Structure 1
């Protein structure tokens, strides 16, 4: 009898003898288990175990379990589409974060009514209890069976990673050493109802799919290339229970309410005029106030930490990016060059060739030129250069997304040049600095990610990499935060720590990054004079705290749902007179607050008081100061907060003191 090692759902291992022909499903009878991991590889529960294997259960509510559930639901969607649209040709249908999609070649785009009808058909398929059956086929058999599916035939040619442009979604269809087709076997008749080319694995039957919803449809290029045909993509989501689906849909509603693009329009903060171009934002006066306050506080903190401010131009000769290597490594992300400075004689003959100028995608090469502008001594190190530097990156139109993925943005960019002996202390203080500053802006739920060397693509010696990686690791561990490893995820020039911050609704955003660079100091020939008079290469540390002002603005806007803390709010106080006769009194109160640096407006519109209050609430103003006859007589105001609570008869001096205290302490109200 085969002997196997079985891990249960609690993580306990047991060595068992099982009869020949035993399946993983017979080992794991708990309905929560949808697939098994056999010697580290996911397998269907119909997999027949053999001696010496180690089995682990994969529950439907785990990350892998949900991915399998969603991929199986994608198959049900594809079956429903081909039943309702027999001419539809199949693309691919992988699981994605929180859901799945499937691409189809159809005569027209799908409508909302189509999605509703497809959901109904999918429910029928799920209730029928179809079984997912894996079948190994040869390439010739697959081509014969799928002769009517041109996109599947193309994928067959990618079997085993034979094509260099095969991505993970392609591999999901054909990956591994063998081709497999999954048949959907009808639960009543035992006949094949549908089939698809797929690597798998899948849940045992469609009845295991408890809750799903089709979300939307969109056009998508086949295999992500604009050179390929346009298909129609249907997005959906699937979860292990109806409660989990309900919670996810509620989360999406809240995320939509917080969408920075929507709030940017509602609160009149910024816009993306078509006349300027995609991914290029303009900030309106109120958005400009928030941005100014963000930058101002950051400047103050950097000055306290010993940074020196620099400024560099928006474009440069191409030679600079030849030296840095960006034209070798990053050309596709750069705007095309401009040919300038050519000189011609009277007869039109070229006397001096022009040069290529590029909009800068990075600030670091220019900072290196500042370091190299004169001789440097070890006494000057560490040298901390900081800039709010605007850069331009030509993001593809499909990935541009409001302020979080823009084509023009301003980085809060710092580069630290230090000796090898100073590196540990700098990395430690850098990480403390960025975490403390992020907390000041209201983010306080973090974990850290350490990206280590790609074993193939790297520059520098093994010893230096190991030293830098372990120094980063030690600095991260001293923060007493969760540390997640990203093996092989570093850029070729050095290891990296990234700060991952969770916002008010639990989404994770990559914020600050700290990266050690062995490459640019070498390429630019940077040196300093050491204490013994020798010329030494400095260690270069890249550090972006916000990433970009625009992206950080968007993160904070969504984190606070537009209700910024008073110190960042574009309008901190609105004065609301009960009648026109109280305008002058509140104007005087406003003048006193303005002298103290508070941003206040007095609503002198013809609206009734209750309408003025509603308007201030819609604009998410932290404080409303209301004044009527009794307030004027007492030298007081009625103090109304953003949550609707109110204090009456507050002396003006006390009101001013309270507002100033909250603003100066940078707390949320």
Structure 2
């Protein structure tokens, strides 16, 4: 649409008879520069704009930011001493930070949401106002210390943190007033905008939780109360999202880890340091064993390195310069003193390793290398330790101690492109074997403020990764500045059953560390040349991958990964020997089967093992024993009766042996038996 000079965007929207209600309601417009503008905006010259509907990502973001203002108004209505932090839209919702005398309770959230609904229904207008100067802003915001700090930040520099851009941004300092139906300003907030025209354009929202948050993310600053919420263009979309959240809660790997007795985080061990129980240990072993087998087939050589090292190794690699904040503190060891307490042998600093790569460089350098050995693929399940801050640690997906399935490939420059393509194919195929199917790729390029090496090697490495990624046929998303200090990377982003994206495998090209460690190979002409190093973690870490798979399958692991694959359930005690004979046969074929000989009734046994998400239950009564048969019972409640033991054993062997990822049901197992 064209908005004539001096005419508001809202006038043009109304003249065009575009929707003002529902999911297609126009909430803002986008100008020729891509900037979102309020409907009250009137350009100084004729301007082409695009109408932005509530049901678009941009429209939802505006609705959510407006809902954050509604929340802040409700908080200051009910808690008059509350001081305002910031309130940006985020993925699927919004938050606002507050300085209040006491933490918010669940009852407070209910009261705040009720007040927000009253305010939304009242139809207050969002009215934009430009402040005349920094001094005027300081005067108006004298009672809001956190807003004053943002104003001072604005006066010092045009550069602001992304989380604060909705407050100050570039250009003028502006306030959005909430104006009631009588034309009176009832509340206001420092904000760049834009916002919906009035509060009735916020049709569906819910407050979800409260968390502690430090002002501007700095632990040295005041701790605030952060209230999270979600807002959508319709009640149906809100209900759909809330059901999604409920399903995500049901799939939470921390909850399932306890319910299924897979792992725990004992307080005595420490934050972010999990221990795996026997059932979790089986799943982990199966994950690792299959990965080892695939790596052997692909020509990898297995190595092992210690958990700690002298500081000199990480000084050489650069990790102590670039990564020290993510490492555990040094252990000062090996110092010797005489009887008088005088040092006779200086001590040395040792560090828990955050990375395996420097050790692999030493293995490569341990003897001369010929071009005939390249590419040399070294692989290790290596335990590493990273000092994640306590607020970042989260279940298995963000831990302090982890095992990486780490590989480093040393190759000649002429081999780089083919190696990257085959490596990416290998990574994607292996992830598919574990049941992940929906991928896209992310290309992380150099951070110009944090990198080592020369421009040309970075250019070559980046283009090689780009070409390999594009040849995969997957979507490639740019990640400017996201590379490690020593080289660019491609990361595989996998979507789980709920559509959430998880970073899985990473592939990095590194010209720098071979230089630092003086790595060489003898070329065909006898000259000494430098190899290129490729860093590759396939799962990222075993722990994180375990957590992702737990949520992807909602704890109902494929039979080949399940800790207990089969449980025999006798109808009466006299049927136990029959099932124990089946158990002996299956265990002899490497299948994990238990027989439930407890005193519980059969229906309770079925319920217990279904709750534990065992993929196959084998039931046996008198007729089954007489016929030499068993009956299958599946997690979805379906059943196949009277299956000859030999057929049942064969079906289980085939199903588990081919690593079938589907959950067994009457329909798909019946096809297996046919």
State whether TM-score is above 0.5.
Answer: yes
| Of 129, 135, 150, the match for 1:140 | 135
SS at match of 2:431: helix
Contact 1:459 1:518 survives alignment (8 Å): no
- Other-structure match for 1:244: 237
- Other-structure match for 2:488: 495
Once the two structures are superposed, what CA deviation does each residue of 1:315-362 show, in whole Å capped at 9, x if it has no partner? 111111111111111111110111100011121101111111111111
Shift, 1:544, TM fit: 0.7
| Whole-Å separation in 2 of the counterparts to 1:350 and 1:177 | 62
| Of 575, 581, 585, the match for 2:574 | 581
| Of 292, 300, 304, the match for 1:299 | 292
Pairing 1:493-532 to 2, within 5 Å after superposition? 493-532=486-525
TM-score (norm 1): 0.95
- Other-structure match for 1:571: 564
Contact 1:211 1:240 survives alignment (8 Å): yes
Shift, 1:62, TM fit: 2.2
Change (3 A) 1:338 1:534: same
Contact 1:404 1:551 survives alignment (8 Å): yes
- Other-structure match for 1:26: 11
Shift, 1:72, TM fit: 0.8
| Of 608, 618, 628, the match for 1:615 | 608
Does structure 1 residue 162 correspond to structure 2 residue 147?
A: no
| Whole-Å separation in 2 of the counterparts to 1:273 and 1:19 | 66
| Whole-Å separation in 2 of the counterparts to 1:577 and 1:160 | 77
Pairing 1:86-101 to 2, within 5 Å after superposition? 86-101=80-95
| Whole-Å separation in 2 of the counterparts to 1:379 and 1:418 | 10
Shift, 1:467, TM fit: 2.8
| Whole-Å separation in 1 of the counterparts to 2:454 and 2:321 | 22
- Other-structure match for 2:148: 153
Change (3 A) 1:481 1:160: farther
Contact 1:160 1:175 survives alignment (8 Å): no
Pairing 1:264-413 to 2, within 5 Å after superposition? 264-413=257-406
- Other-structure match for 1:13: none
| Whole-Å separation in 1 of the counterparts to 2:223 and 2:45 | 48
| Whole-Å separation in 2 of the counterparts to 1:629 and 1:352 | 78
SS at match of 1:118: helix
| Whole-Å separation in 1 of the counterparts to 2:9 and 2:512 | 50
Once the two structures are superposed, what CA deviation does each residue of 1:158-185 show, in whole Å capped at 9, x if it has no partner? 1166398x53222321121321111111
| Whole-Å separation in 1 of the counterparts to 2:631 and 2:323 | 58
- Other-structure match for 1:11: none
| Whole-Å separation in 2 of the counterparts to 1:634 and 1:20 | 89
Does structure 1 residue 204 correspond to structure 2 residue 197?
A: yes
- Other-structure match for 1:471: 464
| Whole-Å separation in 2 of the counterparts to 1:134 and 1:325 | 50
Per mean C-alpha deviation after superposition, the further-off stretch among 376-385 and 473-482 is 473-482
Shift, 1:505, TM fit: 1.4
Contact 1:160 1:176 survives alignment (8 Å): no
Shift, 1:463, TM fit: 3.5
Does structure 1 residue 44 correspond to structure 2 residue 29?
A: no
| Whole-Å separation in 1 of the counterparts to 2:95 and 2:562 | 40
Per mean C-alpha deviation after superposition, the further-off stretch among 494-503 and 23-32 is 23-32
| Whole-Å separation in 2 of the counterparts to 1:74 and 1:161 | 27
Change (3 A) 1:109 1:662: same
| Of 31, 56, 61, the match for 2:55 | 61
| Whole-Å separation in 2 of the counterparts to 1:312 and 1:595 | 35
Does structure 1 residue 230 correspond to structure 2 residue 215?
A: no
Q: What is the CA RMSD across the aligned residues, in angstroms?
A: 1.5
Gaps of 5+ in 1: 1-5, 7-15
- Other-structure match for 2:668: none
| Whole-Å separation in 2 of the counterparts to 1:28 and 1:467 | 50
| Whole-Å separation in 2 of the counterparts to 1:139 and 1:47 | 23
| Whole-Å separation in 1 of the counterparts to 2:577 and 2:652 | 21
Change (3 A) 1:19 1:168: closer
Change (3 A) 1:160 1:557: farther
Once the two structures are superposed, what CA deviation does each residue of 1:553-605 show, in whole Å capped at 9, x if it has no partner? 01111000011111000000001111111111111110110000000000000
Pairing 1:616-635 to 2, within 5 Å after superposition? 616-635=609-628
Contact 2:4 2:43 survives alignment (8 Å): no
| Of 630, 634, 654, the match for 1:637 | 630
| Whole-Å separation in 2 of the counterparts to 1:467 and 1:53 | 43
Shift, 1:635, TM fit: 1.1
Pairing 1:180-191 to 2, within 5 Å after superposition? 180-186=174-180, 188-191=181-184
For these two proteins, the number of residue pairs brought into alignment is: 652
Per mean C-alpha deviation after superposition, the further-off stretch among 458-467 and 512-521 is 458-467
Contact 1:575 1:603 survives alignment (8 Å): yes
Shift, 1:549, TM fit: 0.2
SS at match of 1:177: coil
Does structure 1 residue 259 correspond to structure 2 residue 258?
A: no
SS at match of 2:165: helix
SS at match of 1:120: helix
| Whole-Å separation in 2 of the counterparts to 1:618 and 1:457 | 50
Contact 2:409 2:534 survives alignment (8 Å): yes
- Other-structure match for 2:670: none
| Whole-Å separation in 1 of the counterparts to 2:257 and 2:624 | 35
Gaps of 5+ in 2: 665-674
| Of 60, 71, 74, the match for 1:80 | 74
| Of 471, 474, 478, the match for 1:485 | 478
